């Protein structure tokens, strides 16, 4: 991978912050930076193509529609879905999970039914289900984690009852960096006749995803975490499931015919896409997926794994360093604490040294409770990060540690 030419595609990486040059951006788990290819494709569409999709007979509308539907095909290919009918554009992982929770909850669940989630879930994969739970009287069952941050698979198997209707778990934890054994999780659930939703927000940017090979029933991810624009994301669903679910929102685009007496719904995927979609963001997302595909997801994964291993080794040299999550097979996110330095102080001081990391509970408060902490500092890596940036992080943490 030619890192210096890749870095040139991301102008923001050349910014000077607090007179520190160049910025070391290690908050990629929250959102990644955008390459020129994405931003320019979106400006180009606004300047030269813009028109509402699916509705117009005129040239621009047809061109915009073609681009939008081509983007859907790009997403389909990227995650190897069987059909574009299985690709629903949403605003992101959060909306994708809410869509499934709401529609699946309404159509498939009754009082007393259960959803299995895990102790390491992001709030979006907890609260979405709690909303349904409150409405429908269903229950959340929680897969516990081990002390080194892995799912207890024995306990998982024990959670299934005749009331289990769905399993919804993260592919990769945004806090612990754990790569969950989703193949086993899905197989076990299917053995019980239960479908599975995978939250791929933190896996999609870092490894090749093949939804057919995974055999998951639903898969959610966000564009902005994989070098694409904000406000666009994807819900993959097997056609057989999407066909059985009711629409999520009502409005234009999702209908076939409307009367006050009887309304019929559009076919997939439009049934789930009420209103004008963000057709410029779908172009941006497609260009982002083209961008990572041209480099190769396998090469990105190898580069980031190497960086993560290097970062963990170097960070463990720091006195008082505690890294959360498994020490091997760790994805590109490292949550840590140093001695009793408060994570907010650590993050603020690192920022002043030109290093952007994240601090806090990372939208995973139940996991924080399990770990008995209030929050962590978190460094997360992307394809453009370098070993030199890890060195800068380590020496900055060292400097902060000496200050305390």
Write out the two tokens for 60.
Answer: 């621009």
**Least separation in angstroms between CB 122 and ligand PMP:** 3
Strands (E), 81-229: 87-90, 114-118, 139-143, 164-170, 196-199, 218-222
Which phi and psi (to 5°) does residue 143 adopt? -75, 120
Q: Which is nearer to ligand PMP, 209 or 394 (CB)?
A: 209
Q: Is 174 in the site for ligand PMP (CB under 6 A)?
A: yes
Q: Which is nearer to ligand PMP, 197 or 201 (CB)?
A: 201
**Least separation in angstroms between CB 173 and ligand PMP:** 7
Q: Which is nearer to ligand PMP, 202 or 337 (CB)?
A: 202
Options 54, 68, 122, 303; binder of ligand PMP; rule CB under 6 A: 122
Q: Is 269 in the site for ligand PMP (CB under 6 A)?
A: no
Show the binding pattern over residues 189-208: x = contacts ligand PMP (CB under 6 A), - = does not.
----------x-xx------
Q: Which is nearer to ligand PMP, 6 or 209 (CB)?
A: 209
**E strand or H helix at 396, and its extent?**
helix 387-403
Q: Which is nearer to ligand PMP, 27 or 113 (CB)?
A: 27
Nearest to 27 by CA among 16, 39, 13, 8: 13
**Least separation in angstroms between CB 134 and ligand PMP:** 20
Options 115, 170, 311, 394; binder of ligand PMP; rule CB under 6 A: 170
**Least separation in angstroms between CB 120 and ligand PMP:** 9
CB atoms within 10 A of CB 392: 19
User: Number of C-alpha atoms within 13 angstroms, CB side, residue 207?
Assistant: 18
**Least separation in angstroms between CB 336 and ligand PMP:** 17
**Alpha-carbon distance 245 to 240, whole Å?**
9
User: Which residues share a beta bridge with 117?
Assistant: 142
**Alpha-carbon distance 200 to 272, whole Å?**
20
Q: Binding residues for ligand PMP, how many (CB under 6 A)?
A: 12
Q: Which of residues 339-368 bind ligand PMP (CB under 6 A)?
A: 363
**Least separation in angstroms between CB 231 and ligand PMP:** 9
Q: How far is CA 253 from CA 19, 85, 162, 247, 280, in A?
A: 50, 14, 38, 11, 17
Q: Is 222 in the site for ligand PMP (CB under 6 A)?
A: yes
216 is catalytic: no
Q: Is 118 in the site for ligand PMP (CB under 6 A)?
A: no
Write out the two tokens for 249.
Answer: 């929102």
Please tell me whether the peptide bond between 269 and the residue prior to it is cis, using omega within 30 degrees of 0: yes
DSSP label of 202: T
Q: Which is nearer to ligand PMP, 81 or 226 (CB)?
A: 226
Residues 6+ apart with CB under 8 A from 73: 84
User: Number of C-alpha atoms within 13 angstroms, CB side, residue 90?
Assistant: 24
Q: Is 335 in the site for ligand PMP (CB under 6 A)?
A: no
Of the listed pieces 48-56, 87-95, 303-311, 395-403, which binds ligand PMP according to CB under 6 A? 87-95
State the residues that interact with ligand PMP by CB under 6 A: 92-94, 122, 124, 170, 174, 199, 201-202, 222, 363
Catalytic residues: 363
């Amino acid at each position: 991978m030619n890192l210096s030419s890749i870095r040139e595609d991301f102008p923001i990486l050349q910014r000077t912050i607090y007179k520190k040059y160049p910025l070391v951006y290690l908050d990629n788990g929250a959102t990644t930076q955008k390459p020129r290819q994405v931003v320019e494709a979106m400006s180009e569409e606004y300047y030269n193509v813009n028109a509402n999709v699916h509705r117009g007979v005129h040239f621009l509308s047809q061109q915009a529609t073609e681009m939008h539907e081509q983007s859907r095909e790009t997403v389909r290919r990227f995650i190897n879905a069987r059909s574009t009918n299985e690709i629903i554009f949403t605003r992101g992982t959060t909306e994708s999970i809410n869509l499934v929770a709401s529609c699946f909850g309404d159509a498939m669940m009754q009082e007393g039914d259960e959803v299995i989630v895990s102790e390491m879930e992001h709030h979006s994969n907890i609260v979405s289900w709690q909303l349904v739970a409150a409405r429908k009287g269903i229950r959340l069952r929680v897969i516990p984690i081990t002390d080194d941050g892995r799912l207890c698979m024995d306990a998982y198997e024990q959670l299934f009852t005749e009331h289990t209707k769905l399993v919804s778990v993260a592919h990769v934890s945004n806090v612990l960096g754990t790569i969950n054994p989703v193949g086993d999780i899905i197989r076990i659930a299917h053995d019980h006749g239960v479908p599975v939703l995978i939250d791929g927000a933190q896996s999609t940017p870092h490894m090749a995803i093949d939804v057919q090979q995974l055999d998951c029933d639903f898969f959610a991810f966000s564009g902005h975490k994989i070098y694409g624009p904000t406000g666009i994301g994807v819900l993959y669903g097997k056609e057989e499931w999407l066909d059985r679910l009711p629409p999520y929102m009502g409005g234009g685009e999702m209908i076939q015919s409307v009367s006050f007496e009887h309304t019929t719904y559009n076919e997939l995927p439009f049934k789930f896409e009420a209103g004008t979609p963000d057709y410029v963001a779908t172009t941006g997302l497609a260009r982002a997926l083209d961008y990572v595909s041209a480099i190769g997801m396998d090469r990105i994964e190898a580069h980031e794994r190497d960086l993560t291993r290097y970062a963990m080794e170097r960070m463990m040299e720091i006195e008082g360093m505690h890294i959360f999550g498994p020490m091997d097979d760790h994805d590109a996110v490292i949550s840590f604490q140093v001695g009793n330095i408060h994570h907010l102080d650590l993050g603020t001081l690192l920022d002043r040294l030109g290093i952007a990391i994240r601090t806090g509970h990372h939208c995973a408060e139940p996991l924080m409770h399990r770990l008995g902490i209030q929050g962590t500092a978190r460094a997360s890596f992307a394809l453009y990060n370098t070993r030199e940036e890890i060195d800068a992080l380590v020496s900055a943490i060292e400097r902060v540690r000496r200050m305390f």
